[in-house]
Structure 1
Amino acid sequence: MCLFTRKYPEKYITGKVYEDTGIGTDIAGNIRGVPGVTVKLYSVRKVDLSKDADDDGVSLYREKLIMTTKTNENGEYRFYVRDGTYSLSIDLDTLPEGKGVTESNVFIERVSSESIDFIVRDIYSIDIDLSQAKRLFIGEAAVVNPTLRDQYGCKLSAKVKCSSDDAVRSQENILEFKPGNFERKWVNLNIATGSVFRQFPVEVRMPEAPLIERIDIAYKNGIIDEKAKILLYLYAMFDKGKIMRGFGAEDRPIKSGTLIMEEILDYIRRKDADSILVETAKRYIASAVPPLDKEYRSPGGFFKIHYTTTGIHAVPGEDLNGNGIPDYIELVASSFDEVKNITCNIRRFRTPIIEPGKDALDVYVFNLDGKYGVTVASRYYGGGSNAPRRASSYICIDNNYSRSKGFKLSRDDCMRVTVAHEFFHSVQYAYNLDADKWWKEACATWNEDEIYSSVNDYVQYLKNYFSNPQKSLEEDTYSRVLFAKYLSEKWGGYEIIRRIWEIQATRYRKSVNAIDAALREQFGNEDIGTVFDGFTAWNFNPAQYYKEGAAWNASVSVSNIYSEYPVPETRGTLNHLASNYQLFKLGKINNRKLKITIEGSDKYKWGFKIQKRRISDGYCEIAGISSKEGVSRAEIIINDCANKYSEICLIPANLEKEKDGGVYSYSANFME
């Protein structure tokens, strides 16, 4: 007979969760413990970093939950452990209502007999940063992270109740509002914990966005239905005077009408389309291209340019060489030839499909009334279960790009970038007509800067990304040229863009999947998630990383700026392929280390990049941890803060291709 005995570790981690009331003890003179609080124990393993200099001075620790316990009636807890590195955290949801803890996460480099206590205090005040929370745009969620303080003015971590009578969805500290129309609206945001209650007014309104974006926002948020959206698209393209009140006047020209026309044409081909709206659309489309009595074949022979020299659609009449062809038309033709040569002959993208019975791609030059250009599908091919739709097309560009129409750059610069942009749409139609909107516009905008790099018309659209990094990569169009630039500058030049389109032409409709497949094929361990993670780091200091970044005069929007420590546990939410930025100012820290604790909801892929800005030159050093390390919770310790770095930026990113609503949290403090 054999007896087996289990040898328990002789070491333990112990401590107390106790209430600091200012008196500190109960009647018997004992520290007043808080029972029933959940304490979590994590095993900690240091992550091996590459020898990249950017990782210098940073220690990353992966954490795994191994035990939980509740404090006993005296507020005490104990974990039996082996030698090693651990961390502890308090589950804020189990604290008594109206109370918070001074620090919710503790890092234990080595086990000792020292008691590790958590101090609980009454919450005396609630406040929020109104510069961050007083205004919401339609369709945005309110992420409420109030500042909680005790009677001494110290920050506390705690769970609070956030609510609003106007919210349509509430999840912990996240509220969503759904306005019934475009009028701005004030709502009350209620925050309560225990007996402490605060109410804050928040304005919900339409963002200052171009006309088409406002229409799309209205549709996505249920303010208008699909028929209204298509009708407004028609007005935006052909009859702007009929745009209803609330959508406002267009503050800048429409970059491209191509995707708008795609939606209109797809709608009128549907069997369930509204018959009256279909007839209205057909009437507008039939008269979209005016009679143009002249034509000119480009020197390369691939393009036939249609134009007129009379009436409101007349092109500028200068003809310096006296050959009877306006100089502007000759420049249009030579620009198309140049763009085709670089795009198709040198870089080997597909050549646009020419309509049957024709021997050239038609280009119509006339007054587009505030639109740079538009490419229109003319005949469709494929579209079966295994074959993406393709299409022949024709291109329309403006006759003079005058400042009276809202164009800021010179006539010829506007024309050149439009030629490169719209031609690339025609190229895309030779691959996959149904590729995602955001990717088509990102690549068309990328192509114009690749060929005419000195014009930089695309820069005006970058603000949409830098001011809203928390929006998914798929939620905007022209500003996503930034991602195309990142891919080409970091991951393989124009060849990676071409390969993505080649893959999209064979088996993927969703562009994110095609990008993911191309990256896996070319780089093995990389995918769209890991690449997006690096993209977020570049965007913190674009002048350092992008070839033209110094000319953008751009900085990414920072969600929170901290200069007071500790930073209590703070929660946020991110949809797929989205990020935000949390900035920690260092100041005088007396050789201490900055410890940032991060955690992402399970079953999500997360990235947590760190950017360390050097005092000496303002440049940054990148470090971080991501789902490649199998991490949902981690500690990031910056060891050499003193006299070297002015600030540290934490960049949480949801690296999922589709999954929205990922919740993450972070806290920060200095340690010796």
Structure 2
Amino acid sequence: MSAQPTRTPLLVVVVAVLAALLAAPVAQAEAPAAGPPGAAPASGSQARQALVAAQSILRGDSDVLARGSASSASSDGDATLALRDLVLLKDQLTGADREAAERLLARPTGGNQDPQDDGYSVPEATPVCSADVCVHYVATTRDAATPAYVNTALATLTSVHNTYVGAGYREPKGDGTRGGGSNLMDIYLSDIGDAGLYGYCTTDDKTAFKAPWARSAYCVLDNDYARSEFGDANTAEENLQVTAAHEYFHAVQYAYDFKEDSWLLEATATWAEDELFDAVNDNVQYLGYSPLTRPRLPMDSSGGGFFYGTFVFFRFLTERFPAAQGGLPTLVRDIWRKADGTKGAPDQYSWQAVATVLRGKKTTAAKAFTAFAEANRRPAQTYDEGAANRYPKARLADSLTLGVRQFRREVRLSHLTSATYRLTPGGALRNKAFKLRVLLDLAPTFRGSSAIVTVYTTSGDVRRNIIKLRKDGNATKVVPFSKAGVRQVEVTLVNASGRYDCFVRGAFSCQGDSRDDRQVQRFSARAFR
């Protein structure tokens, strides 16, 4: 793994089971607990949690629809990631637990061995295949798909495949003789909407789970996206389109590194679905729980569905670096090439790969995140679809109408977060000579501190002032503050740190913990003339 420490799988799915929350991150492989003399060894606790979580999600215990990935940004239930974690920990399961995991990971053609009843109960019809994709289905029972739907699914998936390959992405890894022996990408149509799922991908690759990290995948999509199960926000074909694009991108990702950080897996898959089917805009729903609405939550967080809304960061980047191949911006592809965990590849972790690609664009990840944080205060103006799709505006930390008295604030910011304060000139500040002096007392810059002071004029202009901090994090900035010409001034404080202690069972990039969380950031402001 390119001289990096051995990674430990991270359980990113948190689900309610028997009225208890299973929320522990996956740990290093642990020895099963000893049982009574003569008894079979018990399953490892983390592996058992992964099994119960996956069972719960595929049973439909979540009360919202989920696209293998959740269809509600408030859902923790992600079948694709839950199954990924189960695969990683399966060897720690014993006895009945191991058998349950094998059944859970079986393809629908495994039949009734699947305890979640996702398996076909009748022999499958002859799969319908293109040069790259095979669609598997049955013609009867509740899992049945009509010939017209099968053909639409094949055409959609083949188009998705061709788009990704045409954009320079690696094809999904072949699965050899599994899935009918075609060595093509296998997609199974099944009635999974009754469990609240749009689709999911997983792997039954028999390769030992160690580096290199490329794995084959197969995916399961719903057999009809019936309105009775999925509502009428989108048509059945639109649901098929965005789910196919999202889940197939997971299969592409697995050909690079199926153990990559969860937030990068889901954020870029959610970004991809909108790039391929821009008119559907299904991913806009995730912005309700995203860096736009939760700027104080680390952007690379892996829980609670937050990573779906983080697609907006990649939208921000690709709108600013729009160079494209095959109709798709190349920036996300280049990030996956840096995250590539195959033999001889860079095998960088998520934020490291982002930082490397941005350095090649003559900027830094910290500068890009700072610009992103400030731009999120004006999403209608700073995103191509921000106005049309009503992107939410990043929340303010505080707002105050300021007279001549001094304003002081202190905040603790964790990595990849921000806080914006709005200062509005009071009625006494009508003289055009009034200015605002902003004194910044932030954490040292090596800890990720940065700041932008933005002036909104009464004429509608927006003037961004990127503050050049001293190494100790201090700086002074003077800007106009007369009520005659200034509507408001916003001070955005940022912790753009990308420093981690990696592979310590953390919930962030590189399954690590940030070295720079809860940094104290202070500033004061006073009007004068």
1:115-136 residue CA offsets vs partner (Å, 9 max, x unmatched): xxxxxxxxxxxxxxxxxxxxxx
Q: Is the aligned partner of 1:649 residue 2:499?
A: no
Match of 1:339 among 127, 142, 160: 160
Identify the match of residue 559 of structure 1 among 377, 397, 401.
Answer: 397
CA contact (8 A) 2:173 2:255 kept: yes
Alignment pair present for 1:504 and 2:339 = yes
Asked if 1:262 is matched to 2:91, the reply is no
- Cα distance in 1 for partners of 2:253, 2:100 equals 28
Q: Does 1:356 align with 2:180?
A: no
Cα displacement string for residues 451-472 of structure 1 (whole angstroms, at most 9, x for unaligned residues): 1000000000011112211111
1:404 deviates by 3.0
Of 458, 477, 483, the residue aligned with 2:307 is 477
Q: How many Å apart are 1:276 and its aligned residue?
A: 5.1
**Counterpart amino acid of residue 598 in structure 1:** L
Q: CA offsets per residue over residues 413-458 of structure 1, 9 Å max, x none?
A: 0110011111111111111112111011111111111110000000
Match among 374, 399, 402 for residue 537 of structure 1: 374
Q: Are the equivalent residues in 1 in contact too, given 2:321–2:331 (CA < 8 A)? A: yes
Partner of 1:611: 454
Instruction: Give how far 1:662 is off.
Output: 1.2
Query: After alignment, is 277-286 or 456-465 more displaced?
Result: 277-286
The yes-or-no answer on 1:234 pairing with 2:54 is yes
Q: 2:443 & 2:314 partners in 1: Cα distance?
A: 29
Shift of 1:221: 9.9
Query: Are the aligned partners of 2:213 and 2:258 in contact in 1 as well (CA < 8 Å)?
Result: yes
Asked if the contact 2:284–2:389 (Cα under 8 Å) also holds between the matched residues in 1, the reply is yes
Please report how far the alpha carbon of residue 281 of structure 1 lies from its aligned counterpart in structure 2 after TM superposition.
Answer: 2.7
Partner of 1:201: none
SS in structure 2 opposite 1:422?
helix
Asked whether the equivalents of residues 400 and 423 of structure 2 are also in contact (C-alpha less than 8 Å), the reply is yes
The answer to whether 1:303 aligns with 2:133 is yes
Q: 1:528 is aligned with what amino acid? A: A
- Any conservation in 2 of the 1:219–1:226 contact (CA below 8 Å)? no
For the 8 Å contact 1:380–1:389, the answer to whether it is kept is: no
Q: Size of the alignment, in residue pairs?
A: 436
Distance verdict in 2 for CA 1:635–1:332, change over 3 Å: same
Distance across 1 between alignment mates of 2:205 and 2:377: 44
2:239 maps to 1:414: yes
Alpha-carbon distance between aligned partners in 2 of 1:512 and 1:649, rounded to the nearest angstrom:
28
Q: Which amino acid aligns with 2:339?
A: Q
1:640: how far off? Answer: 5.5
Name the structure, 1 or 2, with higher relative contact order (CA <8 Å, separation 6+).
2
**Quick one: which amino acid aligns to residue 119 of structure 2?**
P
% identity of equivalent residues: 22
Aligned partners of 2:65, 2:419: CA distance in 1, in Å?
A: 28
Distance of aligned partners of 1:516 and 1:547 in 2 relative to their CA distance in 1, 3 Å threshold: same
**What amino acid maps onto 1:612 in structure 2?**
V
Matched with 1:624 is 466
Residue 214 of structure 1 deviates from its aligned partner by 7.5
C-alpha distance in structure 2 between counterparts of 1:575 and 1:390, whole Å = 32
Task: Map 1:21-32 to 2 at 5 A.
Answer: none
- Counterpart residue number, 2:34: none
The one-character-per-residue Cα deviations of 1:289-320 (angstroms, maximum 9, x if unpaired) are 4226224434x4211101123222122x4xxx
Instruction: Give the one of 322, 345, 355 matched to 1:516.
Output: 355
Q: SS at 1:314's partner residue? A: coil
Match status 1:574 vs 2:413: yes
1:561 partner amino acid: S
Q: Kindly indicate whether the alpha-carbon contact (under 8 Å) linking 2:54 and 2:79 is maintained by their aligned counterparts in 1.
A: no
Contact 2:338 2:348 in 1 (8 A): no
Q: Which has the larger radius of gyration?
A: 1
Structure 1 pair 382–498 and aligned structure 2 pair: CA distance change class (3 A): farther
1:293 paired with 2:124, answer yes
8 Å Cα contact 1:258-1:376 kept in structure 2:
yes
Which residue is equivalent to 1:432?
257
- Written as runs of structure 1 = structure 2, the 5 A alignment for 1:87-166 is none
More helix as a share of residues: 2
| CA distance in structure 2 between the aligned counterparts of 1:268 and 1:455, rounded to whole angstroms | 37
Displacement of 1:656: 0.8
Normalized against structure 1, the TM-score is what? 0.61
Distance in structure 2 (CA, Å) of the matches to 1:332 and 1:211: 29
1:515–1:528 Cα contact (<8 Å) kept: yes
How many angstroms does 1:220 deviate by?
Answer: 5.5
Give the AA of the match of 2:80: T
- How far apart are the structure 2 equivalents of 1:230 and 1:485? 32
Residue 218 of structure 1 deviates from its aligned partner by 5.9
Show the counterpart of 2:104. Answer: 284
Render the CA deviation track for 1:197-232: whole Å, top value 9, x for unaligned. Answer: xxxxxxxxxxxxx9957899861699xx84674254
Question: Does structure 2 retain, via aligned residues, the 8 Å contact 1:436–1:509?
Answer: no
Counterpart of 1:314 in structure 2 is 144
Instruction: Give CA-to-partner distance per residue, 1:241-261, whole Å, 9 cap, x none.
Output: xx5xxxx73376624521121
Alpha-carbon deviations, 1:3-32, whole Å to 9, x = none?
A: xxxxxxxxxxxxxxxxxxxxxxxxxxxxxx
Q: Deviations over 1:336-365 (max 9, x none)?
A: 1111111112x1111111112333211001
Give 1:523 shift.
Answer: 2.5
The one-letter code of the counterpart of 1:339 is: V
* C-alpha distance 567-462 of structure 1, shift in aligned 2 (>3 A): farther
Secondary structure in structure 2 of the residue aligned to 1:563: strand
Q: Does 1:442 align with 2:267?
A: yes
Partner of 1:579, secondary structure, is: strand
Gaps (5+ residues) in structure 1? 1-209, 318-325
Match of 1:456 in 2: 281
Structure 2 counterparts to residues 576-591 of structure 1, below 5 A: 576-588=415-427, 589-590=429-430, 591=432
CA contact (8 A) 1:593 1:638 kept: yes
Cα distance in 2, alignment partners of residues 211 and 376 from structure 1: 15
